[in-house]
Structure 1
Amino acid sequence: MLWNPRYGGVDMGLAYADTHVPWIGTSVSLLQDVLSMHTVWSICVPIALVEVFSADRARPWLGRPGLALTGVVFVAGSAFLAVVQYQSGKFMASTAQFVGASVAVVALITAAFVVGRHRLRPRNAATPAPWLVGTVAFAAGSLYWARDTLLSESVSPWVPVTLWCVLAAGVAWLCARWSRSPGRSPQHRPALTAGALLTYVWLGFTHAREMDVPYGTALLGNVVFSAAAAALLGAAAVRLRRQAPAPEVG
């Protein structure tokens, strides 16, 4: 998707041509969109929601057999998609692009393990209420997805690229600061997750007209998935309430 100018039959090269950088072979704004969508909404939000329903968040989800089976399914699914996508568009990334992507993946995995093994020292910083943390997440996600609507067409395409860097750095700094605060509670992580998830709820309705299905079908699908998201958040809130320690009497 990053390098195929006709990925999925869509003219990606034209859609993201304004911020194309020849030496990396792709568009900076496309790279930002892919990183944002999959890092936050495809990966972090589902994991954080599942962890709400786990009694021990540090416990691995899978044993060795389950992990091995998941790995096999992942590799098989990736190979299947690679073959299907190549047959549909006859596009293959260059060796340098594959090597660069592989190096980035290995570096990120290594960084995740290194950071995970080192506990950051707590900071004497105030932590806002969970509802405010969720509001910040919702506002940041909404600001990102609404950037094309908020900015004039006459603005340079590199302005949203720069604003993305500022927004991503600011949210990362806030989350790191709040996570190290002594006042952090079990409700803060789900609140952050809820704000991000609710961003996708309103976003789905704005994409209804762009989908290659009847408008009514797209709206109905968004209603169903939005209701499911709300139900999941409600179940998570009930779970957190049950896990909260009972107040001391006397």
Structure 2
Amino acid sequence: MGRNLGLLLGFCSLIVGVAVADWNILNQRIVENKNGMRITLKNYCEAWRINVELHNIRQFEVVPEECTEYIGKYMSSTQYRVDSEKALEECTIYLSNTFELTGDDKDAWIFDVDDTILSTVPYFKKHTHGGEKFNKTSYEEWVREGNAPALDHTMNLFNYIKGKGIKIFLVSSRGEHLRRATTDNLFKVGCTGWSGLLLRSNEDNGKTVQQYKAEQRKYLMSKGYRVWGMVGAQWTSLLGLPEAMRSFKLPNALYYIP
């Protein structure tokens, strides 16, 4: 018993040591704020990220230079996956407690694409984890490569909802000229069976993400669809009238697109 306990404690110490080492650089810089509180760089960057998720911080063009490493680590961490899976678990709880299939083919759910179905983390990894201003040209070149990986936790929800007989619509701010690349990428990662992929037309140029996404929801509702819920990684994808019956936000502090 004592030997097993010693081995267990040794193993736990090793795991903790690896985790601490991974974040150690963020704990080296200690500053004192105006209230006399001593905080580390990690404390500051975590507070910045949380306030992005709370929508207290908006309209930022770049991740603060001192936090790019932290954001990059977070978006590739177990914590990011746990945070995402918890948000999506709430979707399944909501559906299991609320939803009953009507049988008229008008029950619907909306998914965003970027950082909801497909991950842009590989792109932003090449661009200092959000530390550079968003460059539409280089981003679209990356999209055309069609190699964005799927977010498995979202795909699990996607397949669960599809299995319930709910119509799924993908609504993205990508332009119509990227339809082929987007469709091929979705098929490549196994995202099939959706009822529609809505992309920006020329008439949508100049509209904010919030305005454009709200108009797409209005369009679907005008066709008689009951939008039971939607999932997105940007507040601007979720806000605006008309709203879905429930909206679920995935974590993402890499960028903010108004």
Bin of the TM-score, shorter chain as denominator length = under 0.3
More helix per residue: 1 or 2? 1
